[in-house]
Chain A
Amino acid sequence: MNGGDTPNGPPQPTRARVAEGLARRYRRERRFRLLGLAALLFGLGFLAVFFVTLIANGHTAFVQTRILLDIELDAERIDPDGRREPIALETANYQQLIRDALHRRFPDVTERRDVRELYALISPAADLEIRRLVLDDPAVIGQTRSFWLLADDDVDMLVKGRIDRDAPEAGRRLSDRQIRWVDTLAADGRVELKLNRYFFTSGDSRDPELAGIWSATVGSFFMLLVTLLLSFPLGVATAVYLEEFAPRNRWTDLIEVNINNLAAVPSIVFGLLGLALFINIFGLPRSAPLVGGLVLTLMTLPVIIIASRAALKAVPPSIREAALGVGASKMQVVLHHVLPLALPGMLTGTIIGMARALGESAPLLMIGMVAFIVDVPESPLDPSSALPVQIFLWADSPERAFVERTSAAILVLLAFLVLMNGAAILLRRRFERRW
């Protein structure tokens, strides 16, 4: 295999030198590839840690502890008049029924302090479900019914194993007695983890067992709706004008530089602008998704304009020439040919911009969307929160039970983001054209 032996080959020194370097070149290539692979694995590793932590912390928030109690729907207690008036049924003290049931279950608890601890096992809002049943069907009054009552968040944490039983009593939220009671109930099969409906259907609450993401989700939805309705048409129109109609001169250059700069402006600055402009000058309501949407529009517009211009630039000039060649006007060239071909790219950019807007929290803090919102907003003018802001608020709450809810809310937000980015990729695949 000595290169110098072949009569027609290049002179031996060249071959030898190339062969010498060849091994080194391949080694270098292998090293380079390994380096890239290592970087990728490093990134993936972090992502895996992130997801594992989130899921480990958050998955328990989708269920919550309920305790089975036999409630005697005593007519004397609910409706002493016996007239079954709605107002009476609504204001009756259902809490007392729960307390009675607890007393029947644990008759030996009599001391005032112990009684209060016993009552604390059940969520202060557990009576709402009893009341709903009675209001729906007053005929149940007088019967004894079994209810899976909402447990207090501390009991919930105990059942989910998030309270250390070996810690000294003073260092836990539950006393030894309370733990014993829960264990007794559990031994009877009266403690169970059930689907956490409140998490998906209610707004924020001071009681973690009642807190949910629905009002924040609706707020985010209204906000994105406003953002989409404003930023897509505005962004596309701007991009079309700049790309197809505007002359190239110093002014358009200046505008281009500014648009690129705006895309890089920290989002909190847009929040301040929104506060000054929309709330202080235009007098729009605070904490409203409308204002949030307007602020996010300011933030998303540059992204959409840049993506749309790139999509317009990608339409080959031959298509424009073809249309001009048969006598299409500038407007017809754009509307009939360029825009339809650029639209998938524009939509992809828009979805990515929207996904960014969905995850944005800083500018919303500036316009008062950080408020404590229990009610589900019914229009973009109602006070509302947003998903990322809700996460921020819960992360700030001291209750142990909010930890899992924070993680769960992050999981929900991530699911939305994955959905949107998936849609963007799908759209690109589906409509990608080759010329």
Chain B
Amino acid sequence: MNPLRRFAFEDGSDLAVLVAGLEQRAPFEREPNRTIDRTVYDTFDWRLFEARTVLEHERVTAISGTRKSTARTVPWLIWRSIDTGEVLGRLAMEQVGQFVWDLPNEPIVERLAPILEMRALQSLVTIRIEQVSLRLLGDEGKTEARVVIDRAWLPGADDPLAPVVEVIPVRGYADSAERLAELLAAQVVLRPVDHDVVEIALASVGFNPGGYRSKLDVSLDQAGTARDAIIEVLEALFAAMMANEPGTRADIDTEFLHDYRVAVRRTRSVLGMASGVVPERLLEHLRSEFKWLGDITTPTRDLDVYLLTYPEFEASLTESMRADLRSLRSFLVTHQHRAHLELVEGLDSARYVELMHRYQHWLAHPKREPGASDPRRVPRFNEPAVTFASTCVWKAYRRLIKAGRRITVESPPESLHDLRKDAKKLRYALECFGSLFVAGEITPLIKALKGVQDVLGEFQDCEVQKGSLRGFGESMVTENGVASVPAVLAMGQLIDQIDEREHAARQQFAAHFESFDAKETRMHFRTLFAPASDGVLRQTDDGDVQHDPNSDALIDQPEMTESE
């Protein structure tokens, strides 16, 4: 498809004159003029926008014009490409469902599902549009391109925005669209523009498409100090917490809480690395308070996960057992609701308010903290950020390698759980401080680490799920008596299946860890992060490594003091 061509009207020009002028120059057919209420939808993290698409609900409120109308006035949900204007799919619907599973089972929904996943659609803005559209006809009366002229009113506005004129190409008729674009470009009242009315409308109500991403996005100053880097990362994480707090409170979808928790965990991880940079007394306070904050969000998240996994649970059972399992679902829904109420109480508590107040104040004025620049209390605060970050990553890496090599098939589940935490710490250190290093060097390391994290995650999920299902079963029997027996039996079946998955993950661990602990990756970590005293690698011209007594002896080196 050709890119969409878009023009804006110069102020004070006359739309009718333009249309009449166009109609004289080429064979056009006028569509009936339409008045449309167009509501724009996206998820909180702009998944549709990131896919360069836009989802709009259009309700035609009036039709008039030159041709007898046969258009039906059913409202449509229309999914379009931002770049080409191509309609990717449409659905006739009165009310837009909140989740993909609330939408009808149609092909367009199957395509939306992997983009939206579990995120709620939120209506962002509604604009009123008066639309004039013309079809450029070919020899046989075939539409070969369209011109759509939108005059839009922003919410609450008395006057419309300057009309926007778009050339919508029809596949296979590129020449006609090009001809039409040239015709429009030659009109003095028009000038080419990039933004369409939807983008203008979103901006008018304070939305910045793509403005929120769940991925941590900081770009640290390589010339900065350790304190600068820590504060900047924590500020970004605090912003992520604040961005997700309202959605967490309102329980719009599960991912607000998820992203909130990730920000809290990353914060705790950074606080854990900050010894010697931030005064210890403050650190101790923050570490314990953020641990509390993490803890009060856990019960809701756990139940969210079971509700999200429920369809998979169901699918893994036989038809008759599926029906039996239904009371587990209602149990989960009830308990999730309760847990969420308690979570909101926690977020409303004086403890939370104080923590946020204190924390925010410190982030804004880190130097005002007593002892903040006292070298006796914070010997590393002025250390170059790169040196500090390297130490953090190197420490986390060595710890993971050391612990990972100790894992055998006999190791208890707890040691795998601890290893998972170590892997997470390394991941967070790489993600938080990655921007201090050469772009492109960090991504392959994260990718290598991800293999280990995935298998550890699967193992841990299985371990936790088995325990939880047993716990749910007991609670269900206590709450509902014998009525819950069929569900508990079905859950027993689930536990058996999870046991198999856990066993498989356990078997796969060694291979994944070995591939992460490959020589190449070790060298990569060492080259990037090892302090000079740890032995510097020298490489010959052909990339071979010469005499490096430590490269294969990581675990033989003395363990550095842990800050936690």
- A, B co-complexed: no
